[in-house]
Structure 1
Amino acid sequence: MKIEWAPIGVPMERRRQTFAMAFLIFFCLTVSLGSYILVAALLIYGGLWWRTLVIIYLVYVYVDHRRTHSIMEGNGWKIIRNNWLFRHYRDYFPVQLVKTAELPPNKNYILASFPHGILGTGISINMGVDISKWLELFPQVRPKVATLDQNFLTPIGRGLLRAWGLVSVSKEALVYLLTKSNDPKHKDNRDGFTSNAVAILVGGAQEALDSHPGKYILTLKDRKGFVKMAIRTGSSIVPTFSFGEVDIIDQVANPPNSAVRRFQDFVKKFTGISPMIPVGRGIFNYTFGILPNRRRIVQVVGAPIDVIKSDQPDAAYVDKIHQQVIDDLEKMFAKYKDQYIPNVKQKKLIIH
């Protein structure tokens, strides 16, 4: 295999972007794995004092999560959701945000986001770690990104997730956020924001398994929970599509019924997480590594689909709204694919 090395004369701005990307990838891996190793080491090898502190901390994490669903009110810590590091992270790809309709701040929203890709990068940047563009386009609307509930039981890492505006995708957390008051005078809206927009990567781990460059395969036909949640809370559904999301990084080949896919399905069944071996680039080469490639991601935010609130959603009405989401995504893909996808003639949208 011939290795393609990065040229020496790379502009300094691109070097900063690569540094930001590499730092964040390795930082997140270190925190997620290192926190468990640290806790285990202190419990096994630490003295009575350290063991007591760790146990108290773990009990606090569990109790606090059960009580508050680990939700940080408002927009989290803005200093880490809009800074130099994350702006370079955004510009590395780059990641763009396109507004096609207004999101009035007098209601709450579920952003049905596709495709998941391997990392969910577009949605995580625009509505998570660098919300500057979002706030320009959708003022007074708080951006939130929903992720697996168990992530908020991770020692140390849970604090970062909360500060970045991530929330649990659990039913309780979503109901709490989506039933928040939109009254500007309400005490929860003292920050000047009167609306919550929660992005849900509907396809989840299953859709991630189908993520390969050039393949837009969505897991949606049997995913209706987000529609029921929208109806129960009276929240509008906003279809969003991140063009280029699947192109930034590949994974080891895992066709259906292969040994790799069977193993992934087995792990996903018990953990909710899809284990994958990423195939990307390195810091100094473009041939192998775990860093994503520089590919533009454009998140297009569609028009809101209003629903009639009901505590007991009617199955026929759920199907109607669900089909409207599918129709809007297909129209969005057809309308913008020529503009945002390279070699578009070879690209098709497949919805499972």
Structure 2
Amino acid sequence: MWVQFAPLRLPLRRRLQTAAVVQWIFSFLALAQCCLVLYLLLLLGDGWVLAVLYAAWLYLDWDTPARGGRRSAWARNWAVWRYFRDYFPITLVKTAELDPSCNYLFGFHPHGVLVAGAFGNFCTEATGFSQLFPGLTPHLLMLPFWFKVPFFRDYIMSGGLVSSEKASASYLLGHEGGGQVAVIAVGGPPESLDARPGALTLQIRGRKGFIKMALQHGAALVPVFSFGENELFNQVQNPRGSLIRTMQERLQKVLGLALPLFHARGVFQYSFGLLPFRRPIHTVVGAPIPVPKTPHPSREAIDELHKTYLDKLTQLFEETKAKYGLPEEKHLQLI
């Protein structure tokens, strides 16, 4: 296999963009493990007092990830996120006004391998969320497991990540006075196993928990489609029923995490590695779907709203796909 090396002479901004993405990949794949090792070293070494004090703080702060988190405007505005945005680049597209006196549930599609678009748009200010949607505060929901890792939990909360447990979503969507946005990657980790260039498969037909949650709190539903999300990585072939897919699905059920075998490019060459390809991401935020507050929604009400949501998501995709380079014959596959 021929290796295509990156040019030796590149503008500094390009190198800074690559460095920004390297640290993001490291944060996703290894930072939690490093934080855990650091804590254990402190606990078993001369820093045990600091470790004990942090444990006491962790006990007192345990519920924070399920109660809106602890975001930092300073961290969300770091320069590194602007370089991260420009690497792809990532663009946030507004199609309708959102009333800041209401709470919203954004359904993000597709999950992709590492939800790069969701992170760049909703966990940083690099794409201008606060300017596009004044008065709204976005929170990206993440698996609860990660908020139990010392130090790492504080880092991810600074960007606006919160726990994906039901109590967390309820806290946001039930916020008096509105202004809160809960962003859910509806397909979840299982959908990442189908994430590869050209794929338009969404695991959504059997996912109605977010619909029920919106009804219980009267939070408006907003379909969000991120064009380019699946173009960032290649993935080892894993068709349904294959040995690899069966093992991935079993591990996902045990660990709660999907393990897509992805690859793309490296730091100094373009032929293999774990860095995403430089391909544009356009995250399109659709119009809100009004939802009546129904504390105890019936199955029929959930099914009806779920159908409406699928129709609006499909409409959003069909009306905007040509603008972002997809041919007319490309359609969503909802499973």
For the pair 1:87 / 2:71, whether they are aligned, the reply is no
Contact 1:238 1:304 (8 Å CA) reproduced = yes
- The answer for unaligned runs of 5 or more in structure 2 is none
Q: 1:12 to 1:41 in 2, by over 3 A?
A: closer
Deviations 1:101-141 (A, max 9, x none): 11101110000110000011111111112355111110011
Aligned to 1:147: 142
Task: Look up the SS of the partner of 2:180 in the other structure.
Answer: strand
Matches of residues 177-196 of structure 1 in structure 2 within 5 Å?
Answer: 177-182=172-177, 195-196=179-180
CA distance in 2, matches of 1:79, 1:67: 19
Aligned to 2:66: 69
TM-score w.r.t. the length of structure 2 is 0.94
For the pair 1:169 / 2:164, whether they are aligned, the reply is yes
Matching residue's letter, 2:123:
G
For the pair 1:26 / 2:43, whether they are aligned, the reply is no
Deviations 1:133-183 (A, max 9, x none): 11111001111111111111111110011110011111111111111121x
Deviations 1:168-212 (A, max 9, x none): 111111111111121xxxxxxxxxxx5011110010011111111
Deviations 1:49-95 (A, max 9, x none): 61x6535534542552246626335xx21111112110010010000
- The answer for unaligned runs of 5 or more in structure 1 is 183-193
Q: 1:135 to 1:67 in 2, by over 3 A?
A: closer
Contact 2:139 2:181 (8 Å CA) reproduced = yes
Contact 2:251 2:258 (8 Å CA) reproduced = yes
Deviation, 1:254, is 1.4
For the pair 1:252 / 2:236, whether they are aligned, the reply is yes
Matches of residues 41-80 of structure 1 in structure 2 within 5 Å?
Answer: 41-43=41-43, 45-46=44-45, 50=48, 53-55=50-52, 57-58=54-55, 60-66=57-63, 69=66, 71-72=68-69, 76-80=71-75
For the pair 1:319 / 2:316, whether they are aligned, the reply is no
Identity between Structure 1 and Structure 2 (%):
37
Contact 2:85 2:126 (8 Å CA) reproduced = no
Aligned to 2:15: 15
Task: Look up the SS of the partner of 1:129 in the other structure.
Answer: coil
Task: Look up the SS of the partner of 1:155 in the other structure.
Answer: coil
TM-score w.r.t. the length of structure 1 is 0.90
Aligned length in residues: 335
Contact 1:70 1:162 (8 Å CA) reproduced = no
CA distance in 2, matches of 1:209, 1:63: 37
Matching residue's letter, 1:46:
G
The 4+ residue runs of structure 1 with deviation greater than 4 A are none
Q: 1:245 to 1:66 in 2, by over 3 A?
A: same
